[in-house]
């Protein structure tokens, strides 16, 4: 039955994709959002879940089901989901866990670390990723293809300048000079735990220097693509071996993990400082039903504002990245950028004329900048050899 289902999906054409209208309702349709039931399953990154959710609802015509990093209604993490008949798996939370689930779906014998209930064969078709293949798994012969579709930037964030009352309360930030930091200063704090002065105030990541203002440096949960990206930008060699002053749980409550692009920690901790996707911040502003900012404020870096005067992502911000969907290369391309063995999936995410790359309104509405040009080397939908991963000869999927 699995072979028949995969064969049916492989035979999809763009016209067939367009015909399957209304087969799924995806999380952003209303405040009472819920997981979908679908033919193509996407899991992984929190950063891109909202834009891919909306794309799935509006433009994939029910063929794509994008499963959020945590339960879209209860906010529970790592529960069991059933993305389609014959598939049961622990919900992946973040780019890393989504990638590992895709690898398991492709190769049941994979060495990729798995959650408690890993997916069966063929249960995940592509994963959302806010980080690229990196140096560990990049390969010109890789079996997996990272397909870029938009530009993001990662800003620094704190709580608001003044306290906010109910219904969404937040404490006033103690990091009052965050706009004065340079990128080099933020890197020094994260990588070396060194105090840094900004706007006449010295901020101490260790909280031990008398007279200095403590600053609690946060980073998202393990498995997050933003965690990997931010660690690399900050000069932290291993995102899973953090300096003592960098925290992936609340300093105020060690049982509370830091979820990426969620302003809860900034609302609770006056000394909180950390990364926040600018695209996600804009998306939350534009779409209140998915707003998780909790009054978090974005800050300048090197004197460059996170947002333009019109409130969109400022592409001049110094910390930028492409965001991706990851799929089996042979499924989405014939090696020359054309349709692969799964024409339906290829038509959705591969190439500049793919449905996703043509859905510029959704990409911009959810805070990202378009990749019509190649500010970081790639354009939307590009099948690039430097974005391949997992060489079958040395590092199999």
Residue 221 scores a pLDDT above 70: yes
Residue 64's domain is classified under what CATH number? Answer: 3.40.190.10
Q: Which of 7-21, 275-289, 353-367 has the lowest mean pLDDT?
A: 7-21
Residue 213 scores a pLDDT above 50: yes
Considering the domain boundaries, does residue 223 fall inside one?
Answer: yes
Residues 80 and 195 in one domain: no
Residue where a domain stops, chosen among 299, 330, 364: 299
Q: Which of 277-281, 300-304, 390-394 has the lowest mean pLDDT?
A: 390-394
Residues 35 and 164 in one domain: no
Q: Which of 36-40, 81-85, 175-179 has the lowest mean pLDDT?
A: 36-40
Where would I find the beta strands (DSSP E) of the chain? 40-44, 64-66, 80-81, 89-90, 126-129, 144-158, 196-198, 201-204, 213-214, 216-218, 246-247, 272-277, 297-299, 320-328, 388-389
Task: Give the per-residue pLDDT at 338.
Answer: 58
Residues 143 and 168 in one domain: no
Residues 278 and 371 in one domain: no
Q: What contacts 24+ positions apart, CB below 8 Å, involve 51-54?
A: 51/150, 51/279, 51/283, 51/362, 51/363, 51/366, 51/367, 51/368, 52/128, 52/325, 53/26, 53/27, 53/28, 54/26, 54/28, 54/362, 54/365, 54/366
Considering the domain boundaries, does residue 88 fall inside one?
Answer: yes
Sheet holding 213-214, edge to edge: 196-198, 201-204, 213-214
Task: Please state the rounded mean pLDDT for residues 200-226.
Answer: 95
Task: Give the per-residue pLDDT at 340.
Answer: 72
The single-letter DSSP state of residue 290 is: G
- Taking the C-alpha atoms of residue 158 and residue 133, their distance in angstroms, rounded to an integer, is 29
Residues 6 and 145 in one domain: yes
Residues 242 and 211 in one domain: yes
Residues 214 and 264 in one domain: yes
Instruction: Quote the tokens at residue 148.
Output: 């870029």
Count of domains forming the chain: 2
Residues 286 and 336 in one domain: no
* DSSP-derived pairing of the beta strands 201-204 and 297-299: unpaired
Residues 226 and 339 in one domain: no
Confidence of residue 244 (pLDDT cuts 50, 70, 90): very high
Residue 23 scores a pLDDT above 80: no
Residue where a domain stops, chosen among 234, 264, 299: 299
pLDDT digits (tens, 9 = 90+) for 79-134: 999 998 899 999 999 999 999 999 999 999 999 999 999 999 999 999 999 999 98
Residue 241's domain is classified under what CATH number? Answer: 3.40.190
Confidence of residue 393 (pLDDT cuts 50, 70, 90): confident
Residue 205: give the domain boundaries. 153-299
Residues 29 and 132 in one domain: yes
Q: What value does the mean pLDDT of the chain take?
A: 88
Residue 84 preceded by cis peptide, ω within 30: no
Question: Of 80, 113, 56, 92, which Cα lies nearest the Cα of 348?
Answer: 56
Task: Please state the rounded mean pLDDT for residues 365-369.
Answer: 97
Considering the domain boundaries, does residue 193 fall inside one?
Answer: yes
Considering the domain boundaries, does residue 383 fall inside one?
Answer: yes
Task: Give the per-residue pLDDT at 4.
Answer: 29
Task: Please state the rounded mean pLDDT for residues 319-345.
Answer: 84
Residues 264 and 280 in one domain: yes
Considering the domain boundaries, does residue 397 fall inside one?
Answer: no
Residue 9 scores a pLDDT above 70: no
Residues 25 and 91 in one domain: yes
Task: Give the per-residue pLDDT at 339.
Answer: 62
Task: Give the per-residue pLDDT at 26.
Answer: 37
Task: Give the per-residue pLDDT at 228.
Answer: 93
Alpha-carbon distances of 279 from 128, 266, 282, 313, 356, rounded to whole Å: 15, 18, 5, 6, 17
More confident residue, 36 or 81: 81
Task: Please state the rounded mean pLDDT for residues 47-62.
Answer: 87
Residue where a domain stops, chosen among 266, 299, 332: 299
């Amino acid at each position: 039955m699995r072979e028949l289902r995969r064969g049916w999906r492989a035979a999809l054409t763009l016209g067939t994709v367009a015909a399957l209208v209304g087969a799924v309702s995806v999380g952003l349709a209303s405040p009472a959002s819920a997981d979908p039931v679908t033919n193509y399953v996407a899991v992984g990154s929190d950063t891109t879940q909202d834009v891919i959710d909306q794309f799935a609802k509006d433009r994939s015509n029910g063929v794509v089901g994008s499963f959020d990093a945590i339960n879209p209604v209860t906010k529970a993490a790592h529960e069991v989901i059933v993305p389609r008949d014959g598939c049961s798996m622990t919900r992946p939370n973040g780019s890393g866990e989504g990638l590992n689930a895709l690898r398991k779906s492709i190769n049941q014998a994979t060495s990729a670390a798995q959650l408690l209930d890993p997916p069966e064969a063929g249960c995940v078709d592509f994963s959302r990723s806010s980080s690229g293949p990196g140096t560990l798994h990049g390969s010109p012969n890789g079996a997996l293809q990272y397909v870029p579709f938009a530009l993001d930037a990662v800003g620094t964030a704190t709580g608001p300048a003044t306290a906010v009352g109910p219904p969404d309360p937040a404490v006033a930030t103690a990091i009052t000079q965050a706009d004065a930091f340079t990128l080099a200063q933020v890197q020094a704090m994260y990588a070396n735990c060194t105090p840094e002065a900004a706007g006449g105030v010295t901020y101490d990541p260790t909280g031990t220097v008398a007279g200095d203002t403590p600053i609690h440096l946060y980073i998202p949960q393990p498995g997050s693509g933003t965690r990997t990206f931010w660690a690399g930008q900050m000069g932290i060699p291993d995102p899973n071996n953090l300096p003592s002053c960098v925290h992936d749980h609340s300093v105020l409550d060690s049982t509370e993990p830091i979820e990426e692009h969620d302003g809860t920690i900034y609302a609770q901790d006056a000394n909180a400082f950390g990364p926040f996707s600018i695209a996600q911040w804009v998306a939350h502003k534009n779409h209140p039903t998915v707003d998780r900012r909790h009054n978090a404020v974005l800050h300048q870096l090197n004197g460059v504002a996170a947002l333009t005067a019109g409130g969109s992502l400022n592409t001049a911000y110094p910390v930028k990245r492409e965001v991706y969907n990851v799929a089996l290369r042979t499924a989405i391309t014939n090696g020359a950028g054309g349709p692969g063995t799964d024409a339906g999936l290829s038509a959705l995410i591969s190439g500049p004329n793919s449905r996703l790359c043509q859905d510029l309104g959704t990409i911009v509405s959810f805070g990202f900048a378009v990749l019509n040009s190649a500010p970081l080397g790639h354009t939307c939908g590009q099948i690039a050899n430097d974005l391949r991963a997992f060489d079958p000869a040395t590092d199999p999927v």
